[in-house]
Amino acid sequence: MKISHDFRFECIRCGNCCTDSNTIVNISSSDILRIKDGLTLTLNELIYVLAFYVFETELNEKDRKKMVISPIKTQKGFAFVGLFKKKTGECYFYDTKNKICKIYNLRPNFCRTFPFSFKRIHKSEIDIFYSNKGVEYCPGIGGDSPLINIEKHLELGNNTLKDMELNEDIINKYNTLVDENKIKPSVKNFLNFLLNNNYPTK
Ligand code: SF4
Ligand code: SF4
C-alpha cells in the first residue's frame, strides 16, 4: 500500500510512556497469557500485576461499540483491563533507576506499537498514524529521528489488529456467558475463562 507521508521515530528511553499517570497500559488477552506463562505466575500473582479500571457510569451499547477494546463484565460493573500502575504513575514493570522495561520480551502489544496506532481500512490494507498519546509526549517522534521501516511497522500493525480482533472475540464470548448466567461476572472468572480455553499467546 502507499503511505502518504514519512514517519520518523527513535525511542530515546525517556520513559514517558511507561510513567504517565494518565495512560492506561492496555493489555490484550494474549498479552495476559504471554506474561503469565513467561513469568510463571499463579492466578493470584497474575491478578496482582493487572489493573481493572471500573467505569463509574453505566455504559450503553452505543458507547461500548465506539471503544477500541471492549471492557469486561466484573462484579463491580464494566472494567478495562490494563497493567497495574503505581500511585506515582509508573507501570508496575518499569525499572525507574535504569529506565528499562523489566519484561521487555513479554511486554504488551500496546507498548510494542507505541507511539503508533493502526486502523484496518480494508481486509488487506491498514493505515498507520502517530497515536494521540505519542503526539502528546513522545520526544522520539519527528525531528532528526530516522525514518521507520514501514514494512516492518505495517506487519507489526497487522499482527496487532489481528490480536485485537481475537481479543474482542474472547471478551464478547465471556460477556455473553455472563449475560446468559453461565458465568458470574468477576475478574477471577474472566481470567479462568481465558486460561481454560487454550487461546494463543502471540
Ligand atoms: S515516550 Fe517515546 S521516546 Fe519516550 S520511552 Fe516512550 S517510546 Fe521511547
Ligand atoms: S510493560 Fe514495559 S514497556 Fe510497557 S508500560 Fe510497562 S514498563 Fe513500559
Worst-scoring range by mean pLDDT, 119-133, 134-148, 164-178? 119-133
What's the whole-number mean pLDDT along residues 92-120?
A: 96
Confidence band of 6 (pLDDT split at 50, 70, 90): confident
174 located within any domain? yes
Q: How many CB atoms lie within 10 A of CB 154?
A: 19
- Burial class for 87, CB neighbours closer than 10 Å (0-12, 13-18, 19+): exposed
What's the whole-number mean pLDDT along residues 124-151?
A: 94
Q: 93 C-alpha to center of ligand 2: Å?
A: 6
**Residue whose CA is closest, atom 5 of ligand 2?**
18
Confidence band of 141 (pLDDT split at 50, 70, 90): very high
22 located within any domain? yes
**What does the alpha-carbon distance between residue 80 and residue 70 come to, in Å, rounded to a whole number?**
7
Ligand 1 touching residue 19 (CB < 6 A): no
Check pLDDT > 80 for residue 12.
Answer: yes
Check pLDDT > 60 for residue 112.
Answer: yes
What's the whole-number mean pLDDT along residues 37-46?
A: 97
200 located within any domain? no
Q: Considering every ligand atom, which ligand is closest to the CA of 111?
A: 2
Which residue of 20, 22, 25 sits with most ligand 2 atoms within 8 Å of its CB, as the best mutation to test the pocket?
Answer: 25
The answer to whether the CB of 11 falls within 8 A of the CB of 114 is no
How many domains are contained in the chain?
1
Q: Considering every ligand atom, which ligand is closest to the CA of 108?
A: 2
55 located within any domain? yes
Check pLDDT > 90 for residue 4.
Answer: no
Q: 84 C-alpha to center of ligand 2: Å?
A: 10
Q: Which atom of ligand 1 is closest in space to residue 141's alpha carbon? A: 2
Q: Which domain holds residue 126?
A: 16-195
What's the whole-number mean pLDDT along residues 141-151?
A: 94
b/e per residue 92-117 (b: at least 16 CB within 10 A): bbbeeeeeebebeebbbbbbebbbbb
3 located within any domain? no
5 located within any domain? no
138: CB partners within 8 A, 6+ apart: 9, 14, 16, 17, 114, 115, 130
Model confidence pTM above 0.75: yes
Q: Map residue 99 onto helix, strand or coil.
A: coil
98 located within any domain? yes
Q: What integer best gives the mean pLDDT of the chain?
A: 91
56 located within any domain? yes
Which residue of 10, 11, 25 sits with most ligand 1 atoms within 8 Å of its CB, as the best mutation to test the pocket?
Answer: 11
